[in-house]
Structure 1
């Protein structure tokens, strides 16, 4: 039985002790002495946190999910090296044939896991059921919800999360049936009003895609989709690269949305040098720490989840336990993966080992080290 020692973050707080991993990849037991937060800060022992969970991943390591073939497997390896132990492969707005190519390649990746890769839990379908007037960096193939298309794609690879614009005719009415079919629905790439957002939440939508970005903003007489999220949401995703949203805006969301969680919205440029990369049918350029279309529009990010954690702690001032929840536990709970995103007996043995500067020392996915040194 494998054993991992350090200062371990459990749901009850930090303990100085060890985790034992069972042969089936789950946590057998955690034993240790409770620690005060100040003692954790003062110690030189490694920190052991739940593995990161990223529900919005388009690419990484030079590969794009929409390519098909072995792209998703390579993307899962890149993000595992940055502490992500589970993720949703995220598709782009695209013609049906392009989506089917991506989904056909995702089926075996969702069914199995590479030795040094994150677990791909399923698909985040970001579009095509969005508003063509709020594409952001999405290609212009937006269309209303198509039940037959969804059924066909879901049979190829499991769709866990769907982003849609509720104001598009037919989309609002589709939310209840999508939720009943087991999909999590969230709102994004939308010109919808505050009232549209509230109505969609009442019908079963649960979250918001990259909060603040590609949605109607907050105005005191027209609160917009951002206002609906801040006033009513339990969950929303945000990109904490400090380019997509100002630190002050993220602080507002942290105060308003109890289970705000972080995503990378990462692209093929993640983990790669400056240059030109693919994002769906778009060519994008990485430079100055960001990824943009030719017209300057932000087009996903180069963020990784280990940097997201550091930004939460070092820039936004969150304590480590709160920051950890926002890069793992809340996302797991949001999609119903309650055996991930926490270090407890019976959960999957997904963990990151960090030094005092929050740099990764090791990553365990389902009890197996991915061996960062290789």
Structure 2
């Protein structure tokens, strides 16, 4: 991603952005001003000063946080190749995702461990925020774009093997709690401080409640790859929606969920329990064509990713700037609600709320600048340096 490398430029010390709409934790401030000091946000408010960058007509929100993404820009986190992972991270960074948890897919246990080791190096380099293991501990009946012959029961010893391979950087493991060892693995993950997520599951309502009591706190892409709601068999969806301890992932790409279903989830859980994710694979930021997803082949047509064999939906080509725009313009979320679901909630889940996820003094200068009318992405800043879009703004007093 050449743009992410070549356009990155730090702001002058004490530089300020002025004239923008700022989406702050306490509400929206019009004609706001924020100051960046090095890599952090240092102050809010004050009169415009000569040299401030003029962001009139723009909206500033925190950098997006993606809990669940498999790739982008033609690169895959499941490739086990560092350069591919870098390509994926840079692609989503250019679309406003300043914090990324890289997701693997089902594979041979030893191969996934090798992938985790590669991804962990990128966490240590500051490129990624952690690793999410999606598979192989999932249901055959709900495996979606995971190879059925490689699925395994969530034996705690095997789950621990994957977690250990990430060298302290495992953030989340998705599993089906109804499988042998499922509940024991949930308890183990909770004890280790790793998020246990219920997903790709054939679980019923009662078993899902057991998983939540055991320590599961996330629903992996709610509604997708799990039984639907029936009036006498509510299944996992109702159990996950109704419990205040659970955060639900949603994919707002117009393909995985009908807009009314998204509205239903927000109406039940509220923005404070929704994390919008991409679940993107390597085609995100690219065009139609054939792409690998772990050991499987995916065909993308008109932006929709499906397995070559079987036709199951295989992740998405979504980026979080599009998810933000859809949420505000189509689903009617307020700016603060959208920021909660794309920034604050996932930051809190990752234990990073003291440094990212909201525009507050002392937090990382991770910013996304949007057009205030269309909510199209205009610029991205990460850790006080422009990733893209810096040339769009002029300094106050310079014309």
TM-score, length basis structure 1: 0.92
Match of 1:106 among 119, 130, 134: 119
> How do residues 1-374 of structure 1 correspond to structure 2 at under 5 angstroms?
1=13, 2-5=15-18, 6-15=20-29, 16-23=31-38, 25-31=39-45, 45-69=57-81, 70-113=83-126, 119-140=127-148, 141-157=150-166, 158-233=169-244, 234-258=246-270, 259-294=273-308, 295-338=310-353, 339-356=355-372, 357-372=374-389
1:237-268: CA deviations, max 9, x gaps?
01001110111111110011131120000000
1:86-113: CA deviations, max 9, x gaps?
0100000110132023112112210113
Q: Pairwise CA RMSD of aligned residues?
A: 1.8
d(CA) in 2 for partners of 1:204 and 1:46?
A: 41
Q: Is the 8 A contact 1:66 1:101 kept in 2?
A: no
1:104-160: CA deviations, max 9, x gaps?
2112210113xxxxx411011111111122101112222122444444443443110
Q: Is the 8 A contact 2:155 2:185 kept in 1?
A: no
Aligned length: 359
Deviation at 1:184, TM superposition (A): 0.8
Q: What are structure 2's unaligned runs of at least 5 residues?
A: 1-12, 48-54, 392-399
d(CA) in 1 for partners of 2:161 and 2:243?
A: 33
d(CA) in 1 for partners of 2:242 and 2:157?
A: 34
d(CA) in 2 for partners of 1:151 and 1:32?
A: 51
Deviation at 1:317, TM superposition (A): 1.3
SS of equivalent residue, structure 2 residue 171: strand
Deviation at 1:165, TM superposition (A): 0.5
Q: Is the 8 A contact 1:4 1:19 kept in 2?
A: yes
Q: Is the 8 A contact 2:241 2:248 kept in 1?
A: no
Q: Is the 8 A contact 2:61 2:367 kept in 1?
A: yes
Deviation at 1:230, TM superposition (A): 2.3
d(CA) in 1 for partners of 2:387 and 2:304?
A: 27
d(CA) in 1 for partners of 2:247 and 2:313?
A: 23
Q: What are structure 1's unaligned runs of at least 5 residues?
A: 34-42, 114-118
SS of equivalent residue, structure 2 residue 87: helix
d(CA) in 2 for partners of 1:313 and 1:354?
A: 12
1:311-342: CA deviations, max 9, x gaps?
10111111222112111111111222112110
Q: Is the 8 A contact 2:380 2:387 kept in 1?
A: yes
In structure 2, relative to structure 1, the CA distance for the partners of 1:202 and 1:152 (3 Å cut) is closer
My pick for the range that moved more, 43-52 or 267-276, is 43-52
SS of equivalent residue, structure 1 residue 144: coil
